[in-house]
Structure 1
């Protein structure tokens, strides 16, 4: 039975899933959900897939699963992928950084994206106080990452894991949302290595860029 993944090509969260699936050699059937048209906000979508009206959502037979990190762990379990770590110690560190990314990292980059990009598209004023708070949190987290990544090519051990993809997720929107990553050279070097070493991560970046940039041009928005 084909595994379906519902989402929008402009989503960095969908990118994490599609990139991981390509790396693991798992074929997914893509089902487009146009977030800009509000297709995930319908009562039908919320009732069937995700009550929050968010994507991506995986459907594998009777299994319906949302949250990109959970989806990637599910897919990795199906093929016994080393992306979850190859030792017990590494597996717990992979989970540590995946949880850290959700708690300390992506929640604040998402806030910045919503303020700088989302509100610009909607023609709403930015909340400068909120932006300052979120950027302070991002800088604090980036400082931790920069120290952790000194002398490392990967978040955990000597190979790519799901921790790398979770932490790399905000780079999908770094130029549009102007995250302050440039001040952290080890962070930049680590991400450059991911782009150069894993074609799936570069390919999915191009997909996100094309989707978002095409939409912004269609509504006459220049960031």
Structure 2
């Protein structure tokens, strides 16, 4: 049975899963969930994830939500080095994935809500919230920038799930105006991923097409 992934092409979280699956050669069936139409809050979907969030994996009787957990599941199933080539690398990958969720991606998501989702709903961004988010993002970005000063990847000498996890906020960077360009090592790392990881570039095109079409239809431009 093909693994099903429920999600929206405009979601950076779905992009993380789609990218990892492509790299690992895992065959997945994309079940579209239109977040803009509220399809993640239907009774049927809430049985899969009571939080009403995507992506969600279905593999037989196994149901997993949260993109990081899904990617770990796929990597273990595929025996992929994306989870690290050694035990020590694996712990480092997990460390950075957990850090990403706690100290990095959460602020990018909230910035998206303020600067993109809010505009779609006709709401002005709250400067005090935006300033707090930017402060936290710059603090985290400075850690990443220093870490990447002498490294091509987050862990070891090859791409891992840590790179995919931490790269996710770049999916909306030109819409959220997140201050990543202020950090040259971080920005160069993301550019290398786009140039050297075809799946990451492919999923960005999918995401941009989806977002640009939706935003244009709602009269929102960036």
* Whole-Å separation in 1 of the counterparts to 2:56 and 2:170: 21
Q: Which residue of 1 aligns with 2:142?
A: 143
Q: Please say if 1:65 is aligned against 2:64.
A: yes
In structure 1, the gaps of 5 or more residues are: none
1:54 Cα deviation from its structure 2 partner: 0.4
After the TM superposition, which parts of structure 1 deviate over 4 Å for at least 4 consecutive aligned residues? none
CA distances 1:10-29 after superposition (whole Å, capped 9, x unpaired): 00000000000000001100
Q: Note the 1:76-155 alignment, pairs <5 A.
A: 76-155=75-154
Q: How big is the alpha-carbon RMSD for the aligned residues of Structure 1 and Structure 2?
A: 0.6
Shift of 1:151: 1.7
The SS at the match of 1:123 is coil
Name the structure 1 match of 2:51. 52
Number of aligned residue pairs: 222
CA distance in 2, matches of 1:161, 1:174: 21
1:16 aligned residue: 16
Cα distance in structure 2, aligned partners of 1:68 and 1:74 = 10
Q: How does 1:159-170 map to 2 (within 5 A)?
A: 159-170=158-169
Answering whether residue 190 of structure 2 is matched by residue 191 of structure 1, we say yes
Partner of 1:28: 28
SS in 2 for 1:5: strand
1:84 Cα deviation from its structure 2 partner: 0.4
Consecutive unaligned residues of structure 2, counting only runs of 5 or more, are none
- Partner of 1:9, secondary structure, is coil
User: 1:95: Cα distance to partner?
Assistant: 0.3
Cα distance in 2 for partners of 1:190, 1:17 equals 20
Looking at structure 1, the residues matched to 195 and 155 of structure 2 have their Cα atoms a distance apart, in angstroms, of 18
2:202 maps to 1:203: yes
Instruction: Show the counterpart of 1:216.
Output: 215
TM-score by length of 1: 0.98
